Amino acid sequence: MIRFFEEDGWYHKPFKNIHAIRLPFKGATADWACIAQVQEENRLFVFYSVCPVKTTPENRLAVSEFIMLANYGMLIGNFEMDMSDGEIRFKTSVGLGQLDWSDELAKVAVYTNVFSMNQYLSGLLKVMGGDILPRNAVDIAEIGNDESDS
């Protein structure tokens, strides 16, 4: 896994307690941290983009609606939120099964992930700030229709 990221030009830093690395990413709206992890026991490669801001308890219902609307119809990956602390992340994963590691499979998981976070992050942050309704934010992210912010 590390070789893939090094050859692809990603800076990375290992975690101390788990078999994972942290990678910074510079998006169009904001910078965020990514986490790449190989779960040997499950034969999984998992990649997360972590939203740079946690949502407040008051906004979690609206953010949950945004996440449900954004996730509907997504073929690869999904948004998830930790309701206890408001952390939001986008997750992609590849089940390796009996296959050996494949840079191509990893590349699909990684780049689908960061492109998806980049596509939805602006709207997500606006929902978190109470500046736009979740449905409008998802519409703007998916079809670029910015007719109304409420």
* Confidence category of residue 68, pLDDT binned at 50, 70, 90: very high
- Domain count for the chain, please give it: 1
97 half-sphere exposure, CB direction, 13 A CA radius: 2
Tens digits of residue pLDDT in 26-51: 999 999 999 999 988 888 999 999 99
Q: Quick check: is 149 in a domain?
A: no
Find the domain containing 118 and state its range: 2-143
Which residue type is seen at 137? A
The total number of residues shown for the chain amounts to 150
Q: Quick check: is 90 in a domain?
A: yes
Residue entry with tokens 């996730």: 71
CATH number, domain of 11, equals: 3.30.1460.70
Q: Quick check: is 131 in a domain?
A: yes
d(CA 122, CA 103): 29
Tens digits of residue pLDDT in 105-116: 899 999 999 999
* Confidence category of residue 148, pLDDT binned at 50, 70, 90: very low
**Beta-carbon contacts of residue 150 (< 8 Å; ≥ 6 apart):** 132, 133, 136
Question: For 121, which DSSP code?
Answer: H
